[in-house]
Amino acid sequence: MDLNYSEDEAAFRNQVRTWLEASIPPHLKEKVATYQELDREDLLTWHRILAKKGWVAPSWPVQWGGTDWNAVQRYIFEEECGAAGAPPLVPFGLAMCAPVLIQFGSEQQKKRFLPRIYHGEDFWCQGYSEPGSGSDLASLKTRAERRSDRYVVNGQKIWTTMGHFADWIFCLVRTDFGTAIRQEGISFLLIDMKSPGISVRPLILMDGGHEVNEVFFDNVEVPAENLVHEEGKGWTVAKFLLGHERLNTGRVGASKRELASLKRFAAARQRNGRPLTEDRRFADKLAELEIDLMALEITNLRFLDQLRGGKPPGAGVSMLKIRGTEIQQRLTELAMEAAGAQAVRVSDAEGPEAQFAARLGPRYCNFRKTSIYAGSNEIQRNIMAKMMLGL
């Protein structure tokens, strides 16, 4: 097993790092570093910069704009983006809908949607979860009835991230209501968010932010040509989408950057007249977190070495999601401890340090979700138990 990068891989990392340092707009880098909210234009600005460079969709086939990078190069790119403080790329179009279209879409669908996704001309969101149908996705109830050349959709989706920004939504809907097997009779539709009958209602979270929404469908007409794959075979599409590349869910690069930021912040804080980093109890927690992050990075490198040898990572890659999200949550917990009473959202916080501290409370609340989304950590453990231990 080789856990080192080759000379070519190290050179590629330097190339990416140099370009990122010169290309991330300073105001966006500042927003990311200080945990400020990114709006639609912020997200699309960075998307379009990467699209112009040709790096916005590394895993796509070259004919649609992919880079032809191997798995190690794609991992290095993601890690360097996180370490540099680049804004996130919204995954719903680039990393979710697009791979589905590449795998299952018609040529007409690919030509219509892929270039617009690539260039950031359409903003996408995901219509999976419903009230009572989260982890048990096959129990969804949103109906789509075929009427001639279109479907009529009725129902509700919930926790729709960035649905208030979206131009399009990809949805799982039920097209067969009589099947005894719940996974059958589900279809995958692409729906224009400007269609009559769609309404979006915000869900204001405990951190005060508007990130997720409820989406309601009231007799929404969808052209039948927007069906992806076959009618009633949407579960096949859904499984493909949910299993598409978990290697970067650990966010090692971003967590390393945030750990360094936490160290600087804690060093400037005082406890009993001394820097917080000299407090033994806090320093122990900080050291334990750093060790766990180093272990996660080594685990990532083990999977990368498997990919170099042409071996898929298998179910074990779920541990990256589990440990990565747990570390992300612990980072927010230690930051809250460091900030103390200042870690509350107040409008009159004065000075950069106080303003930074005031954003830590909302961030802590928001990061409770990391162990739930993209397949909850409990589900990831079940996958490993079944596939690796035979339980």
Question: So which residues are the catalytic ones?
Answer: 245
Give Dmax (Cα) for the chain.
76
CA–centroid distance for 63 within its chain: 25
Give the pair of three-digit tokens for residue 18.
């140099």
State the Cα–Cα distance between residues 61 and 70, nearest whole angstrom: 12
Token pair for residue 157? 């989706």
Dihedral sign computed on CA atoms, order 24, 25, 26, 27: negative
**Token pair 């991330």 is at which residue?**
24
Helices (H) and strands (E) in the chain, counts: 13, 10
Closest Cα partner for 120 from 61, 189, 45?
Answer: 45
Give the contacts of 385 (CB within 8 A, at least 6 positions apart).
391
Sequential DSSP letters for 156-221: EE-S-TTTTT-SEEEEEEE--SS-SSTTTTEEEEEEETTSTTEEEEEEE-TTS-EEEEEEEEEEEE
Alpha helices, DSSP H only, in 234-342? 234-242, 252-267, 280-308, 318-339
- Report the C-alpha gap between 358 and 351 in whole angstroms: 11
Distance in angstroms (rounded) separating the CA atoms of residues 183 and 371: 25
> Would you list the DSSP string of 95-117?
IIIHHHHHHH--HHHHHHHHHHH
Torsion, Cα of 184, 190, 192, 196 (10° steps): -20
Report yes or no: 371 and 326 within 8 Å, Cβ to Cβ. Answer: yes
Mark 62-84 as b/e (b = at least 16 C-beta within 10 Å).
eebbbbeeebbbbbbbbbbbbbb
Q: Which H or E run includes 145?
A: strand 143-147
Element (H or E) spanning 386, and its range? helix 377-389
